Amino acid sequence: MDEFIFWLALLLLAAPLASAQKVEEFNYDEAKVGTYTLPDPLTSKDGKAVKTKSAWTSRRAELMELFAANVYGHTPKQPIKLRFQTTAVNESALNGLAVRKMVSIFFVDYPQIPSIDVALYLPKNKKLVPIFLGLNFSGNHSATTETDVPITTRWVYNAIGDVSVNNKATEKSRGMQVSSWQIETVLKRGYGLATVYYGDIEPDHPQGWQGHIRSVLDSPSETVPSASNNWGAIGAWAWGLSRIMDYLQTEPDIDPKRVVLIGHSRLGKAALWAGAQDDRFAAVISNESGEGGAALSRRWYGETVERINTSFPHWFNAQFKTYNKRVADLPIDQHELLALIAPRPLYVASAEEDRWSDPKGEFLGAAHTEPVYKLFGKTGLGTDTFPAVNQPIGQTVRYHIRTGKHDVTAYDWEQYLKFADELVGK
């Protein structure tokens, strides 16, 4: 399916929710962005300047708590017993390029919770490979045209056209996101790739938590109660990424120290929150994650906090909604989420036509991590100058804005592979 149809369907789904409330006007005029003051990642709550790595350790914990309390909700910390079951192996996938394993992650104490089904591609005859991990939007079968990857049987968005019918994916959706995954290119460059349908962890709608992980794990110390526990769907997807990491660590052919997390859009938001919480991820890539991801919340441009909380009430915690009309009161901004990845490599990417995600706000989010990377003796982006299109910049933190629309493209992957080669190691 054309990605456009998929996004159009999402838009239609979000529209009635949005129109139920009075929708503010969206700004696309840089001159109207206005002024704002960002919180300083290196000033702690009690006003002290953070000047050492050890002082950053406490400040980091403080920021983590602020993001949990005010944005994503607290991720339950209780250990969970997992069982990994290999359901299929193809020793000659992608015309002999890869070994493909399908592995299901089961929750031993919660048999009612559906498994997380991983499609894992490893380059043939290679040991201890680095790997990219990313959630996908439409089922593992959408990332490949190979007919032996089963069509997901889980809930999916109803798209326009017959790629899904009654919230079930059809054969028509096979391979529809091949260009966003570039699996052959990734494998040929010596990396493995693991992908999982995000709806395995939690279907993306306000009732999606029911029967999924948020219905069984508790969220501690939350002051605002809600039926679905206080962590949101983004928190659940991030939690799921860590469970997939638990599994990847058991695969002898994967180097667990070189797992690069990648996420697009809402799944970019989830990747950043997962990367902040779980430092087993060696590097994080945010592809057009926008509002609630890499873009600064205080900039009035494109999507707003109010709009995201209205269209997608299940994504964040209840407290985040109290900032709908007072973003300036947020005790954090998104550059501090990005700074939680430091000193690990971070890539933030935008697309010129994806104004909804606020490219400049994503760039500034990345640029404002600089003092934290400096604390570790590293150069982050190393510049405050917004680059021209298709001109990647930066060192440990990288950024590009490419021509084109909201998507993950071959161009994006080319930059991510170069970034991984240089900073994570082939």
180 makes contact with ligand GCU (CB under 6 A): no
DSSP letters for 223-239: SS--TT-SS-HHHHHHH
Q: In what order do the strands lie in the sheet with 116-123?
A: 82-92, 98-107, 116-123, 192-197, 129-136, 254-264, 283-287, 346-351, 397-402, 393-394
Spell out the residues 6+ positions from residue 16 whose beta carbon is closer than 8 angstroms to its own: none
- Tell me 42's DSSP state: T
Q: Are 260 and 133 in contact (CB under 8 A)?
A: yes
CB of 191 or CB of 356, closer to ligand GCU: 356
Residue 54 among the catalytic residues: no
In the complex, minimum distance from the CB of residue 41 to ligand GCU, in angstroms, rounded to a whole number: 23
Q: Are 291 and 302 in contact (CB under 8 A)?
A: yes
Task: Considering the candidates 265, 286, 289, 357, report the single residue annotated as catalytic.
Answer: 265
- Choosing from 200, 222, 291, 412, the residue that interacts with ligand GCU (CB under 6 A) is 291
CB of 1 or CB of 50, closer to ligand GCU: 1
CB of 3 or CB of 62, closer to ligand GCU: 3
CB of 157 or CB of 231, closer to ligand GCU: 157
299 makes contact with ligand GCU (CB under 6 A): no
Q: Measured in Å, how far apart are the chain's first and last C-alpha atoms?
A: 33
Which residues in the 7-36 window bind ligand GCU by CB under 6 A? 10
Which residues in the 342-361 window bind ligand GCU by CB under 6 A? 356
Neighbours of 391 (CB within 10 A): 10
Residue 265 among the catalytic residues: yes
* Residue 278 half-sphere exposure toward CB, CA atoms < 13 A: 27
In the complex, minimum distance from the CB of residue 303 to ligand GCU, in angstroms, rounded to a whole number: 5
CB of 138 or CB of 265, closer to ligand GCU: 265
Q: How far is 132 from 417, CA to CA, in rounded Å?
A: 10
- Choosing from 59, 101, 266, 298, the residue that interacts with ligand GCU (CB under 6 A) is 266
- Choosing from 115, 180, 265, 286, the residue that interacts with ligand GCU (CB under 6 A) is 265
Which residues in the 301-320 window bind ligand GCU by CB under 6 A? 303, 308, 311
Q: Are 362 and 290 in contact (CB under 8 A)?
A: yes
114 makes contact with ligand GCU (CB under 6 A): no
The candidate with the shortest Cα–Cα distance to 32, out of 291, 352, 302, 306, is 302
Please tell me the count of residues contacting ligand GCU according to CB under 6 A.
9
Residue numbers at the binding site for ligand GCU (CB under 6 A): 10, 265-266, 290-291, 303, 308, 311, 356
Any idea which residues carry the catalytic annotation? 265, 406
